Structure 1
Amino acid sequence: LGVGWVDAPVSGGVGGAQAGTLAVMAGGAAQDVAQIEPVLAAYAARVTHMGGPGAGQTTKLCNQAIVTATVAAIAEAVGLAQRSGIDATKLPEALAGGWADSTLLRTFVPRMTQDGLAPIGALKTFQKDVDTVADAARQTGTPMPVSGTVQQLLRLAEAMGLAQADFSGFVDILQTPRQG
């Protein structure tokens, strides 16, 4: 039919969409991606052609594997800080400019240490994403033990009744009573 197909998932959240600064991971023929770039520029600061059809979606799965694992690690760090008597709210300041500094650290430490912040997403969405990552890993024979652990944490969250909790709810999964 002479029609091209492009998959173009995004990263950057609601704020990025509102600001027009999303990152687009595009899959499809190079000429098809180039043809729609002016349209994508309405909401994206960057469009990266990742390969043929489906490559954009696979890149988004890579993004979600990194994001979910990082948010889980931030929750562990917040828990360690709190149980060690450290003011966890100061972690972003203390780690600023170092290797652990990131948008995720600056976004999620406040969400994990303060009450009353509007939710930005539900753990059930992370569960869907990590389940899809696991499916892709199985199909390609890719070992992903960290994502597998995150998948189990998210299953535990569901069993704890936290499926609707904010993404920062990872910290609640790990707040088991202190022993000894």
Structure 2
Amino acid sequence: MAKVAFIGLGVMGYPMAGHLKAKGHEVTVYNRNPQKAQGWVSEHGGLSAPTPADAAKGQEIVFACVGNDDDLRSVTTGENGAFASMAKGAVFVDHTTASANVARELDAAARQGGFGFVDAPVSGGQAGAENGVLTVMCGGEAETYARVEPVIAAYARMCKLMGPAGSGQLTKMVNQICIAGLVQALSEGIHFAKRAGLDVEAMLEVIAKGAAGSWQMENRGKTMNQDKFDFGFAVDWMRKDLGIVLDEGRRNGAQLPVTALVDQFYADVQKMGGNRWDTSSLIARLQR
């Protein structure tokens, strides 16, 4: 069992940290809102700390899952950041969906500090975090990754090293590219089926077993047909992620016309007031 800290107790981090504690790891948590951290301790046990630096002190592994690049820099290299107190030979594992650039930046800072770094963004959403079945895409050194993989297994059904620092973030970008295209296609398919007078649920049941089948169809098709979007991965978060994707695409020369178009469709959903709707709400803009 490992001595670990978890920084960031949002909809993903809160249950992920809980799985670590349930598996017997010694867990100290930090959250920007201390009441949330105290609530976690009341529910799961363990300890809370007043700053990221305090949380990281003396830990073997420090996990983080925060909002964006700036949030990540704040809890690592900022004032009272975790990097200031991390022990030599410890490992920092970042589950934030962030840029590949910040992953490489923090990897370099970690090397200078004498500890390891793994960028490890996740896929599976809030339900995946709560059920402990996330997919984790990692970047870093093989030896460092091998040390943290058994601990990550507390909340993952799939965890894989994709290459050097930044590779986890790049893999997550591919994940978001694919999701954006799939959800738009599914939205158009359901919209078309409604206009054509088909029984949408029957249609989904049939084509889900063929070549068109996908996780999105199985898990979001029915709720899209029912115009239910008050759950899941928020449009605001998806736009943040697609912004990272498009920035990286400009840097590496990748052509992403569908991704750029779907990003603008999500902007339309935001204008409709759907900032916190699930990403499957793309269909709503077709039905205005």
Partner of 2:178: 66
Q: Select the residue among 186, 194, 197 that pairs with 1:85.
A: 197
CA RMSD of aligned residues (A): 1.6
Q: Partners of 1:115 and 1:162 in 2: how far apart?
A: 12
Q: Which moved more, 1:85-94 or 1:132-141?
A: 85-94
Q: Partners of 1:171 and 1:115 in 2: how far apart?
A: 8
Q: Structure 1's 146 and 115: CA in aligned 2 closer, same or farther, altered over 3 A?
A: closer
Q: Partners of 1:171 and 1:36 in 2: how far apart?
A: 40
Partner of 2:152: 40
Q: Select the residue among 112, 118, 126 that pairs with 1:14.
A: 126
Q: Which moved more, 1:99-108 or 1:87-96?
A: 87-96
How high is the sequence identity, in percent, across the aligned residues?
39
Q: Secondary structure of the residue that 2:116 maps to in structure 1?
A: coil
Q: Partners of 1:55 and 1:151 in 2: how far apart?
A: 23
Aligned residues: 176
Any gaps of 5 or more consecutive residues in structure 2?
1-112
Kindly provide the amino acid, as one letter, of the partner of residue 11 in structure 1.
S
Q: CA deviation at 1:175?
A: 1.4
Q: Select the residue among 107, 110, 114 that pairs with 2:219.
A: 107
Q: Structure 1's 54 and 74: CA in aligned 2 closer, same or farther, altered over 3 A?
A: same
Partner of 2:78: none
Q: Secondary structure of the residue that 1:142 maps to in structure 2?
A: coil
Q: Partners of 1:105 and 1:175 in 2: how far apart?
A: 18
Q: Select the residue among 170, 173, 177 that pairs with 2:285.
A: 173
Q: Partners of 1:116 and 1:137 in 2: how far apart?
A: 32
Q: CA deviation at 1:133?
A: 0.8
Kindly provide the amino acid, as one letter, of the partner of residue 91 in structure 1.
M
Partner of 1:153: 265
Q: Select the residue among 104, 125, 132 that pairs with 2:237.
A: 125
Q: CA deviation at 1:118?
A: 4.5
Partner of 1:97: 209
Kindly provide the amino acid, as one letter, of the partner of residue 114 in structure 1.
Q
Q: Partners of 2:242 and 2:202 in 1: how far apart?
A: 29
Higher relative contact order (CA 8 A, sep 6+): 1
Partner of 1:138: 250
Q: CA deviation at 1:116?
A: 5.4
| Mapped pair 1:25 → 2:137 | yes
Q: Structure 1's 25 and 127: CA in aligned 2 closer, same or farther, altered over 3 A?
A: same
More helix by share: 1
Q: Is the CA contact (8 Å cut-off) linking 2:230 and 2:276 kept in structure 1?
A: no
TM-score (norm 1): 0.91
CA deviations over 1:81-103 (Å, ceiling 9, x no partner): 00010122223311132111111
Q: CA deviation at 1:72?
A: 1.2
TM-score (norm 2): 0.58
Q: Whose Rg is larger? A: 2
Q: Partners of 1:144 and 1:116 in 2: how far apart?
A: 29
Q: Which moved more, 1:92-101 or 1:152-161?
A: 152-161
Q: Partners of 2:140 and 2:229 in 1: how far apart?
A: 39
